[in-house]
């Protein structure tokens, strides 16, 4: 098949909470933002994006999957992200709300740099935020007028109780755009915890 004709799909790398943690995050979101006008991310899709690739050919993804295990440095894994606040980010007339981690653990920063280096070598486009701000998006299309007063004023609020997110696996996820929002499917997993 000619690469020019090969269908491209959207992919990203992410850390994915287990279903119990996703349910807890869903309940936390409901408690904090009961009256908000926005599109809530379904609990089963709550995740922490590491690197967004955008439109990529399946052939390129196959190459990445073959090479990545030998490129990833697993020292320091498993690790924990500490989350302590909710943040509102305006996007035009609307916005998003995410739960933000306190800091980036050094092993996670090294992992991101490994991914960026591989994507650069493969001449694949990607979106990386500098600096990397680990976060879990919980709402999209937020109407600013529906924000709680404290979040509307300060753009961030402390969580009633900070929480941890343990990470021992990196996932490659396919994103499909649908009328009701993005649909995510984990297509590959890369264990990061060192084997004894």
Give the integer Cα–Cα distance in Å for 45 and 67.
27
Residue 166, domain member (yes or no): yes
Q: Residue 15 in contact with residue 107, Cβ under 8 Å?
A: no
70: domain CATH number is 3.90.1140.10
pTM, whole model, 2 decimals?
Answer: 0.91
Residue 159, domain member (yes or no): yes
Quote the pLDDT of residue 140: 94
Residue 196, domain member (yes or no): no
Q: Residue 85 in contact with residue 158, Cβ under 8 Å?
A: yes
Q: Number of folded domains in the chain? A: 1
- Low-confidence residues in the chain, pLDDT < 70: 1-6, 194-196
The 10s digit of each residue's pLDDT in 115-132 is 999 999 999 999 988 899
Quote the pLDDT of residue 177: 82
Quote the pLDDT of residue 138: 97
């Amino acid at each position: 098949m000619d690469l020019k004709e090969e269908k491209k799909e959207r992919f990203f790398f992410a850390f994915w909470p287990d279903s119990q943690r996703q349910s807890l995050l869903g309940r936390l979101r409901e408690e904090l933002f009961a009256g908000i006008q926005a599109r809530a991310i379904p609990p089963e899709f709550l995740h922490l994006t590491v690197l967004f690739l955008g439109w990529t050919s399946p052939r390129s993804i196959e190459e990445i999957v073959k090479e990545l295990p030998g490129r990833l440095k697993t020292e320091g894994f498993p690790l924990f992200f500490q989350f302590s606040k909710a943040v509102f980010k305006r996007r035009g007339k609307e916005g998003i709300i995410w739960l933000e981690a306190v800091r980036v653990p050094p092993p996670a920063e090294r992992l991101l740099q490994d991914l960026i280096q591989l994507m650069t070598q493969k001449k694949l486009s990607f979106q990386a935020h500098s600096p990397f701000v680990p976060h879990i998006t919980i709402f999209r299309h937020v109407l600013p007028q529906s924000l709680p007063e404290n979040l509307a004023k300060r753009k961030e609020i402390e969580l009633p109780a900070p929480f941890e997110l343990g990470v021992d696996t990196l996932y490659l996820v396919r994103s499909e755009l649908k009328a009701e929002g993005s649909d995510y499917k984990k297509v590959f997993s890369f264990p990061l915890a060192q084997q004894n």
